Amino acid sequence: MVTKARGIAVELRELGEEVRAEELEGLLKTARQDAYRALRDRTDLYADDGRTIRLGRHRFAVNTQPLDLTLVPRGDGLAFALSGTDFRSPVTDPDLAATRPYWGRLLPSESPDVYRAEHLAARLLDEHGPAALAGADLAALVRQAAEESYDEGYERGIHDHDATAILAALLRLHDGAGLLRHRPAARAAAHLFWAHEPTDEAREVWTRRAASLARARKTFGPTPAIAELQAELAGAIGGEEAVSAAEYLFDELICGPDGFVLSAGTRTLLDTFRRTVGTSAYDEDLTALDDLTARRQLVEAWLSSYTVATGSGTTAGDLAEAVAAELCPDLRRYESDAPLSETVEGLLGTHPRITGRALTVRIDELLARTRDFRVHDVPGHRAYQRRRTALVAAERSRIHLDSYRPRVMSSFVRNRLIDEVYLPLIGDNLAKQLGTTGDAKRTDTGGLLLLISPPGYGKTTLMEYVADRLGLVLVKVSGPALGHSVTSLDPAAAPNATARQEIEKINFALAAGNNTLLHLDDIQHTSPELLQKFIPLCDATRRIDGVRDGEPRTYDLRGKRFAVCMAGNPYTESGGRFRVPDMLANRADVWNLGEVLTGKEEAFALSFIENTLTANPVLAPLAGRDRGDLDVLIRLATGDPTARADRLTHPYVPAELDRVTAVLRHLLAARATVLAVNDAYIASAAQTDTTRTEPPFQLQGSYRNMAKIAQRIQPVMNDAELAAVIDDHYTAEAQTLTSGAEANLLKLAELRETLTPQQAVRWAELKSSYVRAQKLGGTEDNPTVRAITALGLLTDRVDAVASAVHGAADPRHRTANSTALGHISRSPAG
């Protein structure tokens, strides 16, 4: 398959489709990286043949059901259902309600009354005709038809075998049955019509037209005029059996002996009936009635009573034929005692009509039953399938189902920090929210995972990875889209369409319940009042109020495999600090991905190298190789005398090894700056404005910054060129800070120890100016506040002068000064 895809890419390039070829090759590369990651994870994390996964010291069940939307029965109707979850949404489409008879059928080719092999055999007999099938290879013909009808569910070796046996039986019966192949009720309707309705002239016209069209068909093949004549006859006959009666009447007019066929069974029934009733009042009453409807009612009553009393077991069709024979005594007839039934044995399929691997085939009943099924049920079922597919597609689009499938970024690297720190921390939290497998499973689920870090540390990417490996539905909610004005979980109260969509996502996640991870991203952009709504969800009650489909609803998630994760940055969009409601934070496990956990400094620093491997073309191949090679290469790059190239598992040629170590050496130097920036950013975010001694530092030192720098590093760079790359990167980053750009760049230079004397003076002025402004009320625009602050500062200075004057007037102070002056006067210089 891979070779074929690469060949297609080559062909696309030859056709001038360079973009499509690149897209295909990119997909192949992504698939290869995903497969490698999945293989590593299956080896390192999974157990029980992929049914459980280990996160830290906990084991979790893995949901292996693919995320998909379908229709399932619910009450008296159907509902949309999301696989693996509790999501159910009733279907209110009136067109679908009209297809109720087909809801319980899986295939268009089978129903409780029709076995799919019967349908296939009868369809082939109708399509090809008995003459064409007489000398054909029935098994091959049936097998080909079954393969072409792929949506009808024929199993090779089972249903084609059964259909062949049934078709052979139908052909044997068809040869002798003649026009008895038409069902008795249709023949009875035709008899009554022909005997009582048309005039002699009309009979003559229809007979001649039918005979002529039959000769034309025999000479030149099928003609649509036959169907037109049959439709004309059906219109004249009327009633439920009109179409079938018209087909029989046409066949009767063009073939067979003169007259109308009467089965031997019906003749026997009439003879025994006549012998039983004798010359009684029955004949007198029948003769006395002129109305055909009344006479028919009378005959039906007598014959029905007779069959019930004698227990003859006459079918409704045979009874109808007997009634027609009694009502049409002048109609010319001929009898036929041809066998109509045969038992087909050795069938392999299963169906309610099959008993002991045997099926009784009665040709007139089977052909009529399968014809009605073919004309009405098969198209009806296909229409139901089309409507069902359209509804599911529309609902899948409406709820944005594809966005709930977690997708691991191609640049994601499960590094040492993730293995040793993040996955165990997340595992500890999810053990409380989801519950673990085995006897250690907790029943008191609850809690919240709160991830805090500057932008670019992979909070969302990490949760995408965890959700994907656990098989969870990941519902990501955008904090900026919600905004500070949203304080309710009612979509109707949202200020705009974007916010309404995000609130609907929250309600969808709560309705999904099981196997769902609700991830609220960038919560620093949201209202604390909205976050407070999640407090009861994160404690033992596991309940939350929401609104779904316009109706208030309380979601009860106790015992559900449901988790909540919130992620945010230390600063809001305005540069101010954000706060999480105390009661929510009290229920959360809070972790800052940008800070170093005690004892994990080395892993944290190494993660900046591991996460940027894919960003640099020289280092990109290392992401798919043994993790131990990177440790050896870093030691080689730092000049560790104990590091040896022969310890590498991958065979590197000397030139490649030199390029790799050169890039790693530059990366290590850049990492020192990025880590210093990260520490300064977090330290600044932790301070209040009243305690700051310098402007807030808002440049970031995240994985994203490291990757941007890494992609510009070349093996041949010197230290000056590397410093220029770092300078250019942060200069560009600082441009978004507007008025704070100068202060942040000077702080960066101080961190890198590259301040020039002029920059040092300017930095000191900015810090002094910032402190003075803070003491005067900071950036407060209210002049009254600034004036009061200035008066308070002036009062403090006056108090300081007063204290100094008072101290100078103190006798003890004067004595101390005199002693000091005496010492000075006795000095050698005096």
- Please answer whether residues 532 and 581 qualify as being in contact, where contact means their C-beta atoms are separated by less than 8 angstroms: yes
What is the distance between the alpha carbons of residues 208 and 212, in angstroms, rounded to a whole number? 6
Q: Is the pLDDT of residue 779 over 90?
A: no
Domain assignment of residue 811, given as a range: 783-825
457 and 416 assigned to the same domain: yes
pLDDT band at 277 (very low <50, low <70, confident <90, very high): confident
Asked if residue 128 belongs to a domain, the reply is no
Number of independent structural domains in the chain:
4
Q: Is residue 502 part of a domain?
A: yes
- 753/810 same-domain check: no
Ordered strands of the 562-568 beta sheet: 473-478, 516-521, 562-568, 448-452, 588-592
- Do 650 and 630 fall within a single domain? yes
Residue that is written with structure tokens 């810090």 in the block: 767
Residue 826: predicted pLDDT: 38
Are residues 793 and 729 both part of a single domain? no
pLDDT of amino acid 505: 95
Domain annotation covers residue 449: yes
**Of the residues 566, 592, 618, which one is the last residue of a structural domain?**
592
Residue 276 forms part of a structural domain: no
CA dist 388 to 71, 98, 325, 777, Å?
8, 12, 48, 66
- 625 lies in the same domain as 717: yes
- pLDDT of 410 reads 76
Quick one: pLDDT at residue 799? 67
pLDDT greater at residue 80 or residue 456: 80
On the question of pLDDT at 804 being above 80, the answer is no
Decide if 323 contacts 262 (C-beta within 8 A): no
Q: Are 512 and 444 part of one and the same domain?
A: yes
Q: Distance between CA 522 and CA 821 in Å, rounded? A: 66
The H-assigned helical ranges of 686-718 are: 703-710
* CA 564/CA 561 separation, integer angstroms: 11
542 and 429, same domain (yes or no): yes
CB neighbourhood size of 487 (10 A): 16
**Banded pLDDT at 28 (limits 50, 70, 90):** confident
Q: What is the pLDDT of residues 372-383, one digit of tens each?
A: 999 999 999 999
- Pair 576, 495 in one domain: yes
CA distance 556 to 510: 9
Output the CA angle 827-828-830, nearest 5 degrees.
70
Answer yes or no: is 195 within a domain.
no
Q: Residue 185: inside a domain, yes or no?
A: no
693 and 645 share one domain: yes
Find the CATH number of the domain harbouring 420: 3.40.50.300
| 437 and 504 inside one domain | yes
Last residue of a domain, one of 575, 592, 609: 592
The structure tokens listed for 406 are: 């977690």
Q: Does any domain span residue 16?
A: no
Q: Which of these, 600, 585, 565, lies nearest to 477 by C-alpha position? A: 565
Both 558 and 627 in one domain: the answer is no
DSSP state of 577: B
> Is the pLDDT confidence value at 828 over 50?
no
**Three-class SS string for 526-543?**
CCHHHHHCCCHHHCCCCE
- 800 found inside a domain: yes
Residues 608 and 584 in one domain: no
Query: pTM for the whole thing?
Result: 0.77
Q: β-strands 58-61, 52-55: how paired?
A: antiparallel
Q: 146-183 pLDDT, tens per residue?
A: 999 999 999 999 999 999 999 999 999 998 898 999 99
Burial pattern 715-729, b for ≥16 Cβ within 10 A else e, equals: bebeeeebbebbbeb
Task: pLDDT band for 784, please (50, 70, 90 cuts).
Answer: low
Q: What is the pLDDT of residues 62-111, one digit of tens each?
A: 999 999 999 999 988 999 999 999 999 999 999 898 899 999 999 999 99
Structure tokens at 776: 């005067």
